[in-house]
Amino acid sequence: MNEENPNDRMLTPRPVRDSQSEMAEIVLPNDANPLGALLGGRLMHWIDLAGAMAAHRHSRSYAVTASVDHIDFLVPVRVGDLVILRSSVNRVFRTSMEVGVKVFVENYIADTSQHVASAHLTFVAVDANGKRLPIAPVVPETEEQQRRYDDAGRRREIHRAELKRKQKR
């Protein structure tokens, strides 16, 4: 008799496409500063939510934000604009994963789209008690996904080297 271990199924490698998520938000006056531009903190909140969606979909567990690598705000977003956030898992380590989030502003009247921001976040999979869980590997299927996978490995090495340097102080 061949009994399947549920943990084995949970750790079966999954393609990047299984984690891909998209969310949309309309910028309302409460989301903006006195100049009518989207607050950076509100955009960071939306980025965290979009990243969490991809992390949850891939890990099939709770996932908590461990770090945000970097965010550049490239163009202002105005009240009334439609913000589109696209996220996917770039790479999985043992109990953590890097998720990339790319943000666009769409002008639905002019039918244009502009890149607003990009961010890399690290999420950790946890159970209901907050204990770390192993995560299934992610499988890149396109050249772009492979580039993001490789870049995530480089970012992790840089981050680990920085931590070691700080610990020596």
The answer to whether residue 1 sits within a structural domain is no
- Tens digit of pLDDT per residue, the chain (169 long)? 444 444 555 789 999 999 999 999 999 999 999 999 999 999 999 999 999 999 999 999 999 999 998 898 999 999 999 999 999 999 999 999 999 999 999 988 888 899 999 999 999 999 999 999 999 999 999 999 999 999 999 999 998 898 888 888 7
Give the structural domain span for 19.
6-168
The answer to whether residue 102 sits within a structural domain is yes
The answer to whether residue 36 sits within a structural domain is yes
**What is the structure's pLDDT at 10?**
74
The answer to whether residue 135 sits within a structural domain is yes
**What is the structure's pLDDT at 35?**
95
| Per-position b or e across 141-155, b if 16+ CB within 10 A of its CB | eeeebeebbeebeeb
**What is the structure's pLDDT at 166?**
85
The answer to whether residue 144 sits within a structural domain is yes
Rg (CA), the chain: 18
Return the amino acid letter for 155.
R
CATH number for position 95:
3.10.129.10
* DSSP code, position 74: -
Domain count, the chain: 1
**What is the structure's pLDDT at 69?**
87
